[in-house]
Amino acid sequence: MSVVERETKETRIRVALTTGKGVGTSTTGIPFLDHMMVTLARYSGLDLKIDARGDLAHHTIEDVAICVGAALERVIPPTAARYAHRVVPMDDALVECALDIGGRPYYRGPLPSSLYDHWMRSFADNAKATVHLRVLRGRDRHHVVEAGFKALGLCLRDALADDGVVFSTKGSVALKVSP
């Protein structure tokens, strides 16, 4: 289990994440964020528990993304499948996600909501993941954003699968940071 806590003048966040059955609970005070976090847990197969408080929606959403990303980065097995690609339809929306959880942070969107586009960027940076989201269709912002989280979740499920071999021509990469 990976537990990440972040406390600032603006927010207090606690995220517990583990591979599991896709059970999610989220208490942030932002109903749509809670809905997206439970959706992400369900589609990724990760068990996710989030307790968060913040002064503004922007700060809470960003700091939850930072913590979820950091928690995910700690549970990626060295022999993960690493790459994944999914396309998710949801009513009028059609969203594509391509993912690499191999330690190289990058995000390319956008989603049609600056708050949730920022969630994706903050998540990718802290998970050290490459995330490409492409909105192929959609008029309803709720549907587009939700399809994006579902596509990301399904990609995480696929990329986290442990294939038993390091999926890189570099082999295992060790990075040591000394004080």
Q: Tell me, which fold does domain 2-159 have in CATH?
A: Ribosomal Protein S5; domain 2 (3.30.230)
Mean pLDDT of 129-136: 98
Model pLDDT for residues 35-47, shown as the tens digit of each residue: 999 999 999 999 9
Q: What is the DSSP code string of the chain?
A: -EEEEEE-SSEEEEEEEEESS--EEEESS-HHHHHHHHHHHHHHTEEEEEEEEESSHHHHHHHHHHHHHHHHHHH--TTB--EEEEEEEETTEEEEEEEE-SS--EEE---S-HHHHHHHHHHHHHHT-EEEEEEEE-S-HHHHHHHHHHHHHHHHHHHT-B-SS--STT-S-------
What was the pLDDT predicted at 85?
98
**pLDDT category of residue 127 using cuts at 50, 70 and 90:** very high
What was the pLDDT predicted at 175?
67
Mean pLDDT of 5-16: 98
What was the pLDDT predicted at 173?
58
What was the pLDDT predicted at 124?
98
pLDDT for residue 77 is more than 70:
yes
What was the pLDDT predicted at 133?
98
Q: What amino acid is encoded at 28 in this protein?
A: T
Mean pLDDT of 159-166: 85
What was the pLDDT predicted at 171?
65
Domain coordinates of the chain in residue numbers?
Answer: 2-159
**pLDDT category of residue 1 using cuts at 50, 70 and 90:** very high
* Residue 169 or residue 102, greater confidence: 102
Q: How far is CA 123 from the centre of its chain?
A: 5
Going 51 to 52 to 58 to 62, the CA torsion angle's sign is negative
Q: Judge whether 135 and 95 are in contact, CB under 8 Å.
A: yes
Mean pLDDT of the chain: 95
